[in-house]
Amino acid sequence: MLKTTFLTTLALIAFAGNSVLCRLALNDNIIDASSFTSIRLLSGAIFLLLLISISAHKSPKKSINMKGGSRLSAFFLFVYAGAFSYAYISLDTGTGALILFGAVQVTMIMSDIFKGKKLILIEWLGLAIAFIGLIILLMPSASAPSLTGFLLMAISGIAWAFYTLAGRGSKTPLVDTTNNFLRTLPFIALLMVLTLAKTHLSNQGILLAILSGTVTSGLGYAIWYSALSGLTVKNAAIIQLSVPIIAAIGGVIFANETINIELMTSSFLVLGGVFIVIMGKQCIVGFQRVGKWSMKRS
C-alpha cells in the first residue's frame, strides 16, 4: 500500500504538471503551441524508448515484442496533445485541467451508456450536476474562459478519452504507449510544415516542452501504469478527481494565478458530480446508513 500510495501521488503530480508546464510556456510566449506539442511528443517517444531499453537490459533473457499500439490511438494522442497546447494559450492552469478532466470523464461515461450500460437515477443526477458545473464555468463573467480555449480543451479531453478507451485491456502498456508516441511523428511533421511561419522557439520554451514530454508525460505514464497494479478501476477513477485541484494549486504557485469563486464552485460541482456517477450505488447505501443513524438518534 505504501508503494502504491507513493507511486500514485507521483503520477497525479505529473499529470497536473503537464498543465502547469504548458501554461508556463505558452502564457509567457516563449514557444509556440505547435512547437511545444511537437517537442513534447518527440521527447516523450525518445524517453519511452529509453525506458524499454533499460527494461530489456535488466531482463536480457526476456524478449520484448515491440509490436503494439495503433495508428488510430496515435491520432487520438496527437489531437489530445495539440488541442491541449493551443487551449492553454488562453486558459488558466486550473480551468484548463478542470475542462480537460470533465470532458474525459463525461466522454467515458457516455461511451459506457452507448454500449448499453444503464445508469440508475443517482448516477444521472451526478452527470447532470457535472454538466451544470461546466455551464457555470462558461457563464459570462470577468473570469470566464474564452470559448475557443474551452472548445479546444474539450476536444483534447474527448481525444484523450478515446485514446484511453482504445488502450483498455492492453497487456503491454509501455510498449503500446511508446509505439503510439512514435506513430505521431508523421502528424508532427505535417503540423510543423503548416505552422512553420509562426514558429517561435527559445531555450526556456524548449526545456519546458522536453520536461513535459519526458518527466510529466513519459515518466508520469510509466509510474501510473505501475500504480494501477495496486488500484481498482474505481479507486483509480476517484483518485484522478484530485488532478484539477493539484493543477490549480500549481498554477497559483508557479504561474501567479488566482483561484476565483467561479472556478471553486464549478470544480465542486464537476468533481462532485463525477464522484456520484463513479460511486453510484455506494452513494445510495451511504445515504441509507445516514438516514438510519439519524432515526436512531431521534
Amino acid letter at 4?
T
pLDDT band at 2 (very low <50, low <70, confident <90, very high): confident
Q: Would you report the helix, strand and coil content of the chain in percent, each value rounded to 5?
A: 80, 0, 20
Domain span holding position 236: 2-59+66-297
Structural domains in the chain (count): 1
pLDDT band at 87 (very low <50, low <70, confident <90, very high): very high
Give the list of residues 6+ apart from residue 293 with CB closer than 8 angstroms, or none: none
Q: What integer pLDDT is reported at residue 62 of this predicted model?
A: 59
pLDDT (0 to 100) of residue 293: 63
Residue pair 12/240 in contact by the 8 Å Cβ criterion = yes
Query: Is residue 287 predicted with pLDDT exceeding 70?
Result: no
Mean pLDDT of the chain: 86
- Whether the pLDDT of residue 96 is over 90: the answer is yes
The Cα 80–Cα 164 span in angstroms is 11
Alpha carbon 202 to its chain's center:
26
> Which residue from 183, 188, 178 is spatially nearest to 214, judged by alpha carbons?
178
Q: Residue 86: is its pLDDT beyond 60?
A: yes
pLDDT value for 285? 66
Query: pLDDT, tens digit, for every residue of 191-219?
Result: 999 999 999 999 999 999 999 999 999 88
Instruction: Please state the pTM of the whole predicted model.
Output: 0.87
How confident is the model over 107-124, as a mean pLDDT?
85
